Structure 1
Amino acid sequence: MIYKNIRKAIFMTRPNRFIAHILLEGKEEICHVKNTGRCKELLTPGAEIYVQEFDETKRKTKYDLISVYKGRRLVNIDSQVPNKLFREWAERNQFFGEDATIRPEFTYGQSRFDFYVESGARKILIEIKGVTLEEHGVVLFPDAPTQRGVKHIQELQQALDKGMEAYLVFIIQMQGVHYMSPNWRTHPAFGHALVQAEQAGLKIMALDCQLGEDWIEAREFVEVRLGNF
């Protein structure tokens, strides 16, 4: 995926989930944050960031915050990109078969899942989660309690009971990590639900991304460790 009109800036403050104050070419600007997660370890005063510039006459803000450097590691925090990356990756690698039909935004039970796939007799539900939290080379999800995430896992498990396949895919929006794990410290209920569903047949995958200042692409499998470390 390619981003157009990327500009380098400096992060200043984040007064709420949706807005950041940034410094761009010596001028303070207001920027939309495309991630409602906490991102506290990323969005620190003085951090180098990359923003996408738009025509301000059509928007409330002129810029979207796309990525941020954490030390030497560039992390994409665009919460709208993981679904696009997974679909590109699945189609490029024919992961579900050459003739698979991939439908986005599929309602099943009481939830809307990111994808529904049919491939021959296979019927597959897929939920995608973007991951931006990294500690010492280990990536963790979630970065804040997510009852919605637990509900998704439970309904994927119900789909398994009815003969469907189900995947939970973590798109790690960075590269060079060791492994991925549920964030037991932040939301143990999510970890327990994930372990239970995996034992029932849920397929859990994690993919890292290669990225630059104006592009990102899902690439390689990353090991998932479910144990409570």
Structure 2
Amino acid sequence: MAHKVIYRLSGLVQGIILERVNRFTISAIIENVKTYAHLTNTGKLNDVLVYGRTSLFKRIKGRKLEFRLIGVEDHGFYNIVDTITQNKIFERLIEKRRINKLSGCIILKRNPRAGSEVFDYILGCGNEEILVETKSAVLRSNEAAMYPDCPSLRGRRQVSKLIELTKEGVRTLLVFISALPHVKCFKPYYDGDPILYELIGKAYLNGVDIMALSMYMDLNGYIYIDDICLPLCKDWIDNISSI
């Protein structure tokens, strides 16, 4: 399979993961020194933040931290665990018109509020607007990317709101960023959060547009896409269609 480069992150530094310190911090060996790095992904990440795993970091000008974790070695490439990078690539795909079903769209607003919930984007697509929420899917089961890997009250509220707005006639889009190499489809993960799993299925059945995007990176910071839009896994579609 040909790997298509969409972007490059420059100035990355290689390091070794030691452990997760708290929700937003990991410890690591970077440039032969034990230090701490910012973690933007609030998932459980038990299969990602593994002791001794080679990782890529970006220097930042934080008040307390000098680095941010970007990606972790995965099957010969690197996943993209950093949600800032994930959304940056999503925005680039929109700007470059690389997503066919969104090829006529532009970003109108970031972090829009709908009721009490904050989402990621409002896209303008001709005379129509789309409310968009992105979710990071870096949990792997064989060749499937999955979300969530732990309970998410915020995720439940957001998906519930998307269902409500869709019923009111608002066009909505839920994007799962499958930032892993060598995956062939996406599906929600029941054991991560059974309530959210059911809500995502309900969203699909009630007209919320659900899309999965594929991306990953290499040691030199090149970010690849093979098939931009991953299919939804057939076993999940068959399961919810029988409800």
Is the pair's TM-score, using the shorter chain for normalization, greater than 0.5? yes
- Say whether residues 1:107 and 2:142 are aligned partners: no
The correspondence for 2:86, drawn from 82, 85, 109, is 82
Q: How many residues align?
A: 227
Amino acid at match of 1:8: Q
**Which residues of 2 match residues 133-172 of structure 1 at below 5 A?**
133-172=139-178
- Structure 2 regions of 5+ residues with no counterpart? 1-6
Matches of 2:49 and 2:216, distance apart in 1 = 21
TM-score (norm 1): 0.89
Find the counterpart in structure 1 of residue 50 from structure 2.
Answer: 44
2:145 is the alignment partner of 1:125: no
Q: TM-score, normalised by structure 2?
A: 0.84
Cα 1:199–1:12 shift into 2, 3 Å: same
Which residue in 1 is equivalent to 2:3?
none
Q: Which moved more, 1:98-107 or 1:43-52?
A: 98-107
Q: Residue deviations 1:61-108, cap 9 Å, x none?
A: 111111111343411110222222222112212743546453211111
In 2, Cα distance between equivalents of 1:30 and 1:129: 25
Do 1:129 and 1:169's aligned partners in 2 also have CA atoms closer than 8 Å?
A: yes
Q: Is the 8 A contact 1:122 1:164 kept in 2?
A: no
* Cα pair 1:85 1:217 within 8 Å, conserved: no
Q: Distance in 2 between matches of 1:4 and 1:74?
A: 15
Quote the residue 1:193 is aligned against.
Answer: 199
Unaligned runs of 5+ in 1: none
Residues 171 and 54 from structure 1, CA distance in 2 versus in 1: closer, same or farther, beyond 3 angstroms? same
Deviation at 1:59, TM superposition (A): 2.7
Distance 2:65 2:106 in 1: 39
Query: What secondary structure does 1:206 align onto?
Result: strand
- Superposed, which structure 2 residues align to 1:173-192 within 5 Å? 173-192=179-198
- The CA RMSD measured in Å over matched residues stands at 2.2
Question: Does residue 216 of the first structure (1) align with residue 220 of the second (2)?
Answer: no
Deviation at 1:217, TM superposition (A): 5.3
Change (3 A) 1:179 1:98: closer
User: Comparing both chains, which one has the higher relative contact order based on Cα–Cα distances under 8 Å and sequence gaps of 6 or more?
Assistant: 2
Aligned-partner Cα distance in 2 for 1:135–1:170: 15
Would the alpha carbon gap of residues 176 and 128 (structure 1) be closer, same or farther in structure 2, given more than 3 Å must change?
Answer: same
Structure 2 counterpart of 1:13? 19
